[in-house]
Structure 1
Amino acid sequence: MRVTALALLLALALGACGPRSAPAPAHPNAVPGVTVNVCGVPTAYPKEPKRAVTYDVGITEMFLFLGLADRLVGYAGIPDGKEIAPEFAPALARLPKLSTQGMNLETLVNAGTDFVFGGWSYGFRQGGVTPELLARHGIASYVLTESCIHVAARSEVRLEDAFDDMRHIGAIFRSSAQADQQVAVLAQGLATLRREMAGVTHRPRVFVYDSGDKLPTTSGRYGMPRAMLHEAGADNLFDDIASNWPQGNWEDVVTRDPEWIVIVDYGHPSAEGKRHFLMRKPELAGVSAIRHQRFFVMTYAEATPGPRNVATTQRLAAALHPERRITVDPPALGTP
């Protein structure tokens, strides 16, 4: 190692003393590198990816919403119970499903993948496929911002987190202008909602029920539903849990007495099945949301980061605050 270092220093010194050659001209098709923030770390992407793989529904919908279907060589993490928006179904039908649950490194390598868009608990997991492992095989990656709470401290979760993700993906794939245009539509919808929700005084307590019998999986302080509830003029029942999708407990649900219950609809049982389970659970009989049967249903893709978050938040605000005239204007999700 010392010999190599000395040789390098000598070469640099000789180069400094000798004649300076003009820098090589840039290749006419060369694409400048970009650097974006990934979980608080500036990360460089010197090359434009050509063969991408996405994991999970919302992440895949982000990619398609940005008009990047032609860069995909496959997708993963979308079982039959997690439905993609109908506008995106034709594009997805033309692509191979590389796995239903979890990422497989061998499959990614065999597909010639050069980029993976996933997240912690959205395909990436310690002891399994990670961005570091992919990098060792020459595969770049991007980590969903909402999921960064598993590896880095965060101050809050925002609807704008998904906007940032889409802008970053646009930059990485050298299509920033198109990404900015698409995100601007979502940002305008959020701005309208904030104007219409200004001055809200009563903020209903809301329990997000994802799944679970003995213990409920719910949204914590850093889950996307928490940001959606905040913008819709409500408080998340399990805001005291510093995670995105943690397990809560039924005792706290009873004690905290939610006024509304948001059901995340995917898999089995269906949303109606989950509703029946909650209605029949004896200890919940006195809970306000159960007594008044106040339920709101959102799909998995609407509850996780993606292009559907803003329109779903508008619907949620309209349900929680019927006294206000809330604009519900979902964006066109087809390829731009």
Structure 2
Amino acid sequence: MSTLHNQPVSSTPTPNTSHRTGRALVALSAATLLFLAGCSAGPAGSEGSGQTATQSPKPTASNSPSDATTQTAYPIDVDTCGTTTTFTKAPERVVTAKSSTMEMMLALGVGDKIVGTSYLDGPLAPWLAAEPGATSQAVTTPLSEKLAGQESLLELEPDLVYVGWESNLSADGMGERASYEKLGVNTLVSPSACKGSDYQPNPLTYEDVFSEIQLMGRVFDAQDQANSIVENERQELAKITKDTRGLSALWYSSGSKIPFVGGAKGSAQLTMDTIGLTNIGADIDDTWGQMSWEKVIEADPDVIVLVDSAWGSTEKKIGVLESNPATAQLTAVKNKNYLVVPFPATEAGVRTVSAATDLSAQLAELEIAGR
């Protein structure tokens, strides 16, 4: 995932993550570490307790939401996907790509630092509409429907380019990270989107999501807000009741000839596990991947989760399923056992928990014969 540190002092990693060596590290200065040690202990038995230096570290918060106001001690170095970026202060002019990064900033209360957006995946979450910067031109009028060109992006004089996919910062995207660094522009990739084996969550967990929120809280000097978000999302997550009917599901993201579906490593798998669905795409060793219609038909899922997007609406997907004689005979299609999730909520971030809450409620309303 990511590395964040002030000084090269070992941090206390989250347990049960030894298979993620090199993914994330938070190291604080010695003085800060000593201070936080006295106020960071979580409740007995919590996932953040019992940390040891021999396990793979993660950017977990050192303060709980009840602690005194916490400020970031700059400079800090942050490693996302293998590239280290140094922040001497909180970013002031940020260009984002993908909805997940824009919404992360809005949720942290720093949306007024956004000077440009691009490649948004859908409408803004209603609960973010009143946050600072949500109605700014930078947010409501993206630079581009797809990725903004590097030249137009640099005209905004950003001090940070913050993206939701690792491929967004490449020669085929908005330009390589090294080219921005040479110009004095910092870059960050959402840690959950890293593809390298040492950085990609395998699989994604809620602790990964929460760690990312807290990491960005440190970057933007909004640690208290980040901790508050995490605490609220933990409480919301605890209220979700898992369906016990033993239902299988297809997470249908896009594609007509060959569907692009949720695999074993990403938010699709995490969400289905949370609400009690068995993912028929679980043998795809990635966050997302292709699955032939023949395999879908063979699996015959009880439920189909439809990802709603501008380029692949719910109506379009239902049309694909119901117009094909073979897929029209699927159990889920015949009984219209559909759940719907907006595309922005499928990217790991501040909407991951709320997506599970929403889908759980939809699933509870489905009446499935014999289940």
CA distance in 1: counterparts of 2:107 and 2:353, whole angstroms: 14
What SS class does the counterpart of residue 73 from structure 1 fall into?
strand
1:63 aligns with 2:109: no
State TM-score, norm by structure 1: 0.77
What SS class does the counterpart of residue 246 from structure 1 fall into?
strand
What SS class does the counterpart of residue 67 from structure 1 fall into?
coil
Distance 1:54 1:296, change over 3 A: same
CA distance in 1: counterparts of 2:268 and 2:345, whole angstroms: 9
Q: Which residue of 1 aligns with 2:123?
A: 83
5 Å-filtered alignment, 1:159-178, equals: 159-178=206-225
CA distance in 2: counterparts of 1:240 and 1:94, whole angstroms: 43
The alpha-carbon deviation at position 208 of structure 1 amounts to 1.1
CA distance in 1: counterparts of 2:330 and 2:191, whole angstroms: 34
Q: Which residue of 2 aligns with 1:21?
A: none
What SS class does the counterpart of residue 332 from structure 2 fall into?
helix
**Pairing partner for 2:168 from 102, 120, 123:** 123
Q: Which runs of 5+ in 1 are unaligned?
A: 1-29, 324-336
CA distance in 2: counterparts of 1:149 and 1:54, whole angstroms: 19
**Pairing partner for 2:231 from 168, 184, 192:** 184
CA distance in 1: counterparts of 2:78 and 2:323, whole angstroms: 48
Contact kept in structure 2, 1:265 and 1:300, CA below 8 Å: yes
| Worse-matched range after superposition: 65-74 or 270-279 | 270-279
Distance 1:241 1:125, change over 3 A: farther
The alpha-carbon deviation at position 68 of structure 1 amounts to 0.3
* Matched AA of 2:154: V
1:311 aligns with 2:351: no
CA distance in 2: counterparts of 1:40 and 1:185, whole angstroms: 30
What SS class does the counterpart of residue 143 from structure 2 fall into?
strand
Contact kept in structure 2, 1:31 and 1:48, CA below 8 Å: no
Based on CA coordinates, which of the two structures has the bigger radius of gyration? 1
**Pairing partner for 2:185 from 135, 139, 142:** 139
1:94 aligns with 2:139: no
CA distance in 2: counterparts of 1:219 and 1:130, whole angstroms: 28
Contact kept in structure 1, 2:81 and 2:196, CA below 8 Å: no
1:256 aligns with 2:303: no
Distance 1:233 1:89, change over 3 A: same
For residues 131-184 of structure 1, give each alpha carbon's deviation from its aligned partner in whole angstroms, at most 9, with x where no partner exists: 333222211122112311256454211233332222111101112112111221
1:53 aligns with 2:95: yes
For residues 52-91 of structure 1, give each alpha carbon's deviation from its aligned partner in whole angstroms, at most 9, with x where no partner exists: 1111122211110110012111111126xx2112454573
* Matched AA of 1:178: Q
Q: Which residue of 1 aligns with 2:13?
A: none
* Matched AA of 1:78: L
Contact kept in structure 2, 1:76 and 1:99, CA below 8 Å: yes
CA distance in 1: counterparts of 2:200 and 2:346, whole angstroms: 22
* Matched AA of 1:108: L
Q: Which residue of 2 aligns with 1:330?
A: none
For residues 101-148 of structure 1, give each alpha carbon's deviation from its aligned partner in whole angstroms, at most 9, with x where no partner exists: 013221222111111211336733454323333222211122112311
CA distance in 1: counterparts of 2:252 and 2:224, whole angstroms: 38
Q: Which residue of 2 aligns with 1:107?
A: 152
More helix by share: 1
* Matched AA of 1:138: G
CA distance in 1: counterparts of 2:89 and 2:177, whole angstroms: 16
* Matched AA of 1:255: E
Contact kept in structure 1, 2:203 and 2:266, CA below 8 Å: no
CA distance in 1: counterparts of 2:126 and 2:200, whole angstroms: 36
Contact kept in structure 2, 1:52 and 1:115, CA below 8 Å: yes
Q: Which residue of 2 aligns with 1:288?
A: 331
| Worse-matched range after superposition: 180-189 or 146-155 | 146-155
Over the aligned positions, Cα root-mean-square deviation in angstroms equals: 2.6
Contact kept in structure 2, 1:116 and 1:142, CA below 8 Å: yes
Contact kept in structure 1, 2:204 and 2:270, CA below 8 Å: yes
Contact kept in structure 2, 1:150 and 1:243, CA below 8 Å: no
For residues 215-253 of structure 1, give each alpha carbon's deviation from its aligned partner in whole angstroms, at most 9, with x where no partner exists: 111111223121111111112221211222322211111
Distance 1:153 1:89, change over 3 A: closer
CA distance in 2: counterparts of 1:320 and 1:92, whole angstroms: 31
CA distance in 2: counterparts of 1:125 and 1:206, whole angstroms: 34
CA distance in 1: counterparts of 2:222 and 2:307, whole angstroms: 33
The alpha-carbon deviation at position 322 of structure 1 amounts to 5.4
